[in-house]
Amino acid sequence: MATLSDQAVLQAIFSPNDPFGNLGLEAEVELTDDDSKFDPVLVKKAKDLELQGISLAESGNMDAAVETFTQAIAIIPERASGYNNRAQTLRLKGDTTGAMSDLNKAVELSRGTGRTASLAMVQRGLLHRLHGHDQEALQDFKQAADLGNGFAKSQVVLMNPYAALCNRMLAKMVASIRNPGHPPHPLSEG
């Protein structure tokens, strides 16, 4: 019996036009964070600041957004969400080192569970890919996929070496069908 990951790879190969959100996998799980260990008044203040920071980032005011997320973190330094949101903004500003530091902190504080952990692992996986650290990226994507993150599941499928090999073989086959008199270019062979 094939694993869920193997089934997803096969589905992607045999149905390449399916959107990745529809790989025949279970539906994405709606995750939440457990803020019950924190003072509810402080959680509300931190969340309000985070919403304000998101609005600032969406309007292009990245410096003010970073400062607002930093204020939210100062209210409850043990809460992962502020670090994850600030990491996103730092990444958009081009500060991948600062973003990675905040993502590591978010994953650590979340203990690898909940919505923030899922989002932080995906962001961290993307940064690992950006820097050519595919093994670390795959590990983060697998952990986020295990939490039910659909985007992470699609990344695990895309990074599967068997899927890459099958995609190259399929591309060669399609090219030979389209151009029956022309053999594939020697450099395109994998």
SS3 string, 49-98, reads HHHHHHHHHHCCCHHHHHHHHHHHHHHCCCCHHHHHHHHHHHHHHCCHHH
> Does residue 100 sit within a domain?
no
pLDDT of residue 20: 44
In a domain, 164, yes or no: yes
Per-residue pLDDT of 135-190, as tens digits, reads 999 999 999 999 988 888 888 888 876 666 666 677 777 777 777 766 555 554 44
pLDDT score of 26? 46
Domain residues for the domain of 175 are 160-190
In a domain, 84, yes or no: no
Residue 60 lies in a domain: no
Give residue 29's pLDDT: 58
CA angle 26, 21, 5 (to 5 degrees): 55
Model confidence over 9-36: pLDDT tens digits?
545 544 444 444 444 444 455 788 888 8
pTM above 0.75, yes or no: no
pLDDT at 17: 41
In angstroms and rounded to an integer, the radius of gyration of the C-alpha atoms of the chain is 20
Instruction: Indicate the number of domains in the chain.
Output: 1
**Inter-axis angle of helices 150-159 and 114-130, nearest 10:** 30
Q: Is residue 70 within 8 Å of 87, Cβ to Cβ?
A: no
Neighbouring CB atoms inside 10 A of 14's CB total 10
Alpha-carbon span 84 to 75, nearest angstrom: 15
| 18/146 Cα distance (integer angstroms) | 21
Tens digit of each residue's pLDDT (9 = 90 or more) over 113-134: 999 999 999 999 999 999 999 9
Q: pLDDT at position 42, please?
A: 97
CB 86 within 8 A of CB 106: no
In a domain, 47, yes or no: no
183 domain residue, yes or no: yes
CB under 8 Å to 18, separation ≥6 — which residues? 11, 12, 24
